[in-house]
Amino acid sequence: MLGIGGNRIYPTVLLIDDDMITREVIATILTISGYTLHTAENGDEAVAMLERRDCQPEVVLVDVRMPGLNGIPLVKAIREKSTAAVYAISGSEPPAELRAAVDGFLMKPFLPDSLQKLLDEHNRKPEDLAASDDAPVVSVKILGQFRQMMPEASVREVYASVVADLRLDALEGAITRKDAEQVRRIGHTIKGGCGMAGAQQAARIGALLEAEGDDLSNSARLREALVQAAENLERMLKVEFLA
Protein backbone atom coordinates (compact mmCIF):
# COMPACT_ATOMS: atom_id res chain seq x y z
CA MET A 1 0.00 0.00 0.00
CA LEU A 2 1.26 3.47 -0.86
CA GLY A 3 1.74 5.94 1.91
CA ILE A 4 -1.19 7.45 3.72
CA GLY A 5 -0.95 10.21 6.33
CA GLY A 6 0.84 12.37 7.41
CA ASN A 7 2.53 15.04 9.48
CA ARG A 8 6.14 16.03 8.71
CA ILE A 9 6.95 16.20 12.41
CA TYR A 10 6.45 12.43 12.58
CA PRO A 11 8.66 9.81 10.95
CA THR A 12 7.51 7.96 7.85
CA VAL A 13 6.77 4.34 8.78
CA LEU A 14 6.90 1.12 6.76
CA LEU A 15 4.88 -1.73 8.29
CA ILE A 16 5.62 -5.28 7.09
CA ASP A 17 3.18 -7.89 8.33
CA ASP A 18 1.36 -10.78 6.66
CA ASP A 19 -1.62 -10.49 9.01
CA MET A 20 -4.30 -8.22 7.55
CA ILE A 21 -5.93 -7.43 10.89
CA THR A 22 -2.61 -6.38 12.41
CA ARG A 23 -1.92 -4.14 9.42
CA GLU A 24 -5.35 -2.55 9.62
CA VAL A 25 -5.16 -1.92 13.37
CA ILE A 26 -1.68 -0.41 13.27
CA ALA A 27 -2.57 1.61 10.16
CA THR A 28 -5.60 3.05 11.93
CA ILE A 29 -3.60 3.97 15.03
CA LEU A 30 -0.82 5.66 13.09
CA THR A 31 -2.81 7.49 10.44
CA ILE A 32 -5.23 8.92 12.99
CA SER A 33 -2.17 10.19 14.87
CA GLY A 34 -0.82 11.85 11.71
CA TYR A 35 1.92 9.47 10.56
CA THR A 36 2.68 8.73 6.93
CA LEU A 37 2.40 4.95 6.65
CA HIS A 38 3.33 2.44 3.97
CA THR A 39 2.45 -1.24 4.30
CA ALA A 40 3.70 -4.49 2.79
CA GLU A 41 2.23 -7.98 3.16
CA ASN A 42 5.56 -9.80 3.09
CA GLY A 43 9.31 -9.33 3.06
CA ASP A 44 9.78 -9.62 -0.69
CA GLU A 45 7.17 -6.93 -1.34
CA ALA A 46 8.79 -4.63 1.22
CA VAL A 47 12.29 -5.03 -0.23
CA ALA A 48 10.93 -4.37 -3.73
CA MET A 49 9.25 -1.18 -2.49
CA LEU A 50 12.53 0.01 -1.00
CA GLU A 51 14.43 -0.84 -4.19
CA ARG A 52 11.96 1.13 -6.30
CA ARG A 53 12.03 3.93 -3.71
CA ASP A 54 8.25 3.77 -3.46
CA CYS A 55 8.84 4.80 0.12
CA GLN A 56 11.77 6.11 2.13
CA PRO A 57 10.87 5.24 5.71
CA GLU A 58 12.61 6.40 8.83
CA VAL A 59 11.10 3.58 10.87
CA VAL A 60 10.36 0.00 9.78
CA LEU A 61 8.05 -2.22 11.85
CA VAL A 62 8.53 -5.81 10.72
CA ASP A 63 6.89 -9.05 11.75
CA VAL A 64 9.89 -11.36 11.98
CA ARG A 65 7.86 -14.58 11.66
CA MET A 66 6.23 -14.59 8.21
CA PRO A 67 6.19 -16.96 5.23
CA GLY A 68 8.94 -16.28 2.71
CA LEU A 69 11.70 -13.77 3.40
CA ASN A 70 11.75 -13.12 7.15
CA GLY A 71 13.91 -12.93 10.24
CA ILE A 72 17.56 -11.93 10.02
CA PRO A 73 17.74 -12.23 6.18
CA LEU A 74 14.86 -9.77 5.86
CA VAL A 75 16.42 -7.38 8.37
CA LYS A 76 19.70 -7.50 6.44
CA ALA A 77 17.87 -6.84 3.16
CA ILE A 78 16.13 -3.82 4.71
CA ARG A 79 19.44 -2.50 6.04
CA GLU A 80 20.94 -2.75 2.55
CA LYS A 81 18.15 -0.65 1.04
CA SER A 82 17.38 1.80 3.82
CA THR A 83 18.87 3.73 6.74
CA ALA A 84 15.62 3.37 8.72
CA ALA A 85 15.48 2.14 12.29
CA VAL A 86 14.16 -1.43 12.25
CA TYR A 87 11.90 -2.72 15.00
CA ALA A 88 10.78 -6.34 15.24
CA ILE A 89 7.17 -7.09 16.13
CA SER A 90 6.17 -10.64 16.99
CA GLY A 91 3.83 -12.73 19.11
CA SER A 92 6.76 -14.64 20.59
CA GLU A 93 10.15 -13.74 21.98
CA PRO A 94 12.74 -13.56 19.16
CA PRO A 95 16.07 -15.34 19.48
CA ALA A 96 19.04 -13.39 20.80
CA GLU A 97 20.72 -13.07 17.40
CA LEU A 98 17.59 -11.52 15.92
CA ARG A 99 17.24 -9.09 18.82
CA ALA A 100 20.83 -8.04 18.20
CA ALA A 101 20.07 -7.41 14.51
CA VAL A 102 17.21 -4.94 15.12
CA ASP A 103 16.90 -1.64 16.96
CA GLY A 104 14.12 -2.75 19.28
CA PHE A 105 11.26 -5.19 19.82
CA LEU A 106 7.52 -5.00 20.53
CA MET A 107 5.65 -8.10 21.66
CA LYS A 108 2.21 -8.60 20.09
CA PRO A 109 -0.34 -7.64 21.20
CA PHE A 110 1.00 -4.26 22.23
CA LEU A 111 -0.91 -1.19 23.37
CA PRO A 112 -1.08 1.95 21.23
CA ASP A 113 0.84 3.80 23.96
CA SER A 114 3.77 1.38 23.58
CA LEU A 115 3.90 1.98 19.84
CA GLN A 116 3.60 5.73 20.30
CA LYS A 117 6.43 5.79 22.84
CA LEU A 118 8.71 3.94 20.42
CA LEU A 119 7.90 6.25 17.52
CA ASP A 120 8.21 9.40 19.64
CA GLU A 121 11.96 8.80 19.71
CA HIS A 122 12.04 9.51 15.98
CA ASN A 123 9.88 12.65 15.89
CA ARG A 124 11.62 15.54 14.18
CA LYS A 125 12.29 18.69 16.20
CA PRO A 126 10.54 21.73 14.74
CA GLU A 127 13.77 23.72 14.48
CA ASP A 128 15.42 20.85 12.60
CA LEU A 129 12.57 20.75 10.13
CA ALA A 130 12.61 24.48 9.63
CA ALA A 131 16.34 24.49 8.97
CA SER A 132 16.28 21.57 6.53
CA ASP A 133 16.37 22.30 2.80
CA ASP A 134 14.58 19.23 1.48
CA ALA A 135 11.42 21.11 0.48
CA PRO A 136 11.53 23.37 -2.58
CA VAL A 137 10.70 27.03 -2.20
CA VAL A 138 7.79 26.61 -4.63
CA SER A 139 6.10 23.53 -6.05
CA VAL A 140 7.18 23.24 -9.70
CA LYS A 141 3.91 21.45 -10.46
CA ILE A 142 1.69 24.19 -9.04
CA LEU A 143 3.80 26.93 -10.62
CA GLY A 144 3.37 25.18 -13.98
CA GLN A 145 -0.38 24.94 -13.49
CA PHE A 146 -0.62 28.65 -12.68
CA ARG A 147 1.32 29.48 -15.84
CA GLN A 148 -1.16 27.47 -17.90
CA MET A 149 -4.13 29.21 -16.27
CA MET A 150 -3.11 32.89 -16.23
CA PRO A 151 -0.69 35.45 -17.70
CA GLU A 152 2.86 35.58 -16.38
CA ALA A 153 2.24 38.90 -14.66
CA SER A 154 -0.69 37.42 -12.75
CA VAL A 155 1.37 34.44 -11.64
CA ARG A 156 4.05 36.79 -10.34
CA GLU A 157 1.38 38.73 -8.47
CA VAL A 158 0.23 35.54 -6.73
CA TYR A 159 3.68 34.94 -5.26
CA ALA A 160 4.28 38.61 -4.51
CA SER A 161 1.03 38.50 -2.49
CA VAL A 162 2.25 35.42 -0.64
CA VAL A 163 5.42 37.26 0.41
CA ALA A 164 3.41 40.30 1.48
CA ASP A 165 0.94 38.21 3.50
CA LEU A 166 3.33 36.15 5.63
CA ARG A 167 2.30 38.24 8.66
CA LEU A 168 5.80 38.44 10.10
CA ASP A 169 5.03 41.53 12.23
CA ALA A 170 1.82 40.02 13.60
CA LEU A 171 3.66 36.80 14.40
CA GLU A 172 6.43 38.67 16.20
CA GLY A 173 3.83 40.55 18.23
CA ALA A 174 2.01 37.35 19.21
CA ILE A 175 5.28 35.75 20.30
CA THR A 176 6.24 38.83 22.32
CA ARG A 177 2.84 38.81 24.04
CA LYS A 178 3.17 35.05 24.62
CA ASP A 179 -0.14 34.59 22.81
CA ALA A 180 0.14 30.94 21.84
CA GLU A 181 -3.38 30.79 20.42
CA GLN A 182 -2.65 33.67 18.06
CA VAL A 183 0.62 32.03 17.00
CA ARG A 184 -1.34 28.90 16.10
CA ARG A 185 -3.95 30.91 14.18
CA ILE A 186 -1.27 32.73 12.20
CA GLY A 187 0.45 29.43 11.49
CA HIS A 188 -2.83 27.94 10.28
CA THR A 189 -3.41 30.89 7.94
CA ILE A 190 0.12 30.70 6.53
CA LYS A 191 -0.16 26.94 6.06
CA GLY A 192 -3.41 27.27 4.14
CA GLY A 193 -2.57 30.23 1.93
CA CYS A 194 0.96 29.18 1.10
CA GLY A 195 -0.15 25.60 0.58
CA MET A 196 -2.70 26.72 -2.03
CA ALA A 197 -0.01 28.75 -3.80
CA GLY A 198 2.50 25.90 -3.65
CA ALA A 199 4.91 27.96 -1.50
CA GLN A 200 6.11 24.80 0.19
CA GLN A 201 8.80 26.09 2.53
CA ALA A 202 6.53 28.75 3.99
CA ALA A 203 3.57 26.34 4.18
CA ARG A 204 5.66 23.84 6.10
CA ILE A 205 6.75 26.46 8.61
CA GLY A 206 3.14 27.58 9.00
CA ALA A 207 2.14 24.01 9.80
CA LEU A 208 4.86 23.82 12.44
CA LEU A 209 3.76 27.10 14.00
CA GLU A 210 0.22 25.76 14.18
CA ALA A 211 1.35 22.48 15.73
CA GLU A 212 3.97 23.92 18.10
CA GLY A 213 2.41 27.25 19.06
CA ASP A 214 2.56 26.50 22.79
CA ASP A 215 6.37 26.31 22.66
CA LEU A 216 7.13 29.98 22.15
CA SER A 217 10.89 29.48 22.09
CA ASN A 218 10.43 27.25 19.05
CA SER A 219 7.96 29.74 17.59
CA ALA A 220 10.64 32.43 17.68
CA ARG A 221 13.04 30.18 15.79
CA LEU A 222 10.31 29.29 13.32
CA ARG A 223 9.66 32.99 12.71
CA GLU A 224 13.32 33.36 11.77
CA ALA A 225 12.91 30.44 9.37
CA LEU A 226 9.82 32.13 7.93
CA VAL A 227 11.87 35.28 7.28
CA GLN A 228 14.32 33.10 5.36
CA ALA A 229 11.46 31.49 3.42
CA ALA A 230 10.21 34.96 2.47
CA GLU A 231 13.67 35.91 1.22
CA ASN A 232 13.83 32.68 -0.78
CA LEU A 233 10.48 33.51 -2.38
CA GLU A 234 11.67 36.99 -3.29
CA ARG A 235 14.79 35.52 -4.92
CA MET A 236 12.60 33.07 -6.82
CA LEU A 237 10.50 35.98 -8.13
CA LYS A 238 13.61 37.73 -9.45
CA VAL A 239 14.84 34.56 -11.20
CA GLU A 240 11.53 33.22 -12.56
CA PHE A 241 9.96 36.55 -13.50
CA LEU A 242 12.56 38.83 -14.99
CA ALA A 243 11.52 42.46 -14.85
* Residue-range domains of the chain with CATH: 13-124 (3.40.50.2300), 128-240 (1.20.120.160)
At 80, is the pLDDT very low, low, confident or very high (cuts 50, 70, 90)? Answer: very high
42: DSSP letter: S
The average pLDDT across 24-32 equals 83
pLDDT of residue 6: 46
- Beta-bridged to residue 85, according to DSSP, are 59
Q: How many helices (H) and strands (E) does the chain have?
A: 12, 5
C-alpha 78/C-alpha 211 separation (Å) is 32
Cis ω on the peptide bond leading into residue 109 (within 30° of 0)? yes
C-alpha 114/C-alpha 165 separation (Å) is 42
To the nearest whole percent, how much of the chain has pLDDT over 90? Answer: 31
Q: Are strands 59-63 and 13-16 parallel, antiparallel or unpaired?
A: parallel
At 124, is the pLDDT very low, low, confident or very high (cuts 50, 70, 90)? Answer: low
Residues 6+ apart with CB under 8 A from 198: 138, 139, 141, 142, 143, 146
C-alpha 141/C-alpha 60 separation (Å) is 30
The average pLDDT across 99-105 equals 92
The model's pTM is 0.52
The average pLDDT across 102-125 equals 83
CA dihedral for 13, 18, 23, 25, sign (positive or negative):
negative
pLDDT of residue 125: 55
Asked if residue 132 has pLDDT above 80, the reply is no
Contact 37, 29 (CB under 8 A): no
Weakest-pLDDT range from 64-73, 185-194, 213-222, 227-236: 213-222
pLDDT of residue 169: 92
Higher-pLDDT residue of 133 and 238 is 238
Amino acid in position 106: L
Amino acid in position 199: A
Weakest-pLDDT range from 1-5, 53-57, 88-92, 190-194: 1-5
C-alpha 215/C-alpha 229 separation (Å) is 21
Asked if residue 223 has pLDDT above 50, the reply is yes
Weakest-pLDDT range from 34-38, 64-68, 177-181, 194-198: 34-38
At 49, is the pLDDT very low, low, confident or very high (cuts 50, 70, 90)? Answer: very high
pLDDT of residue 242: 63
pLDDT of residue 28: 82
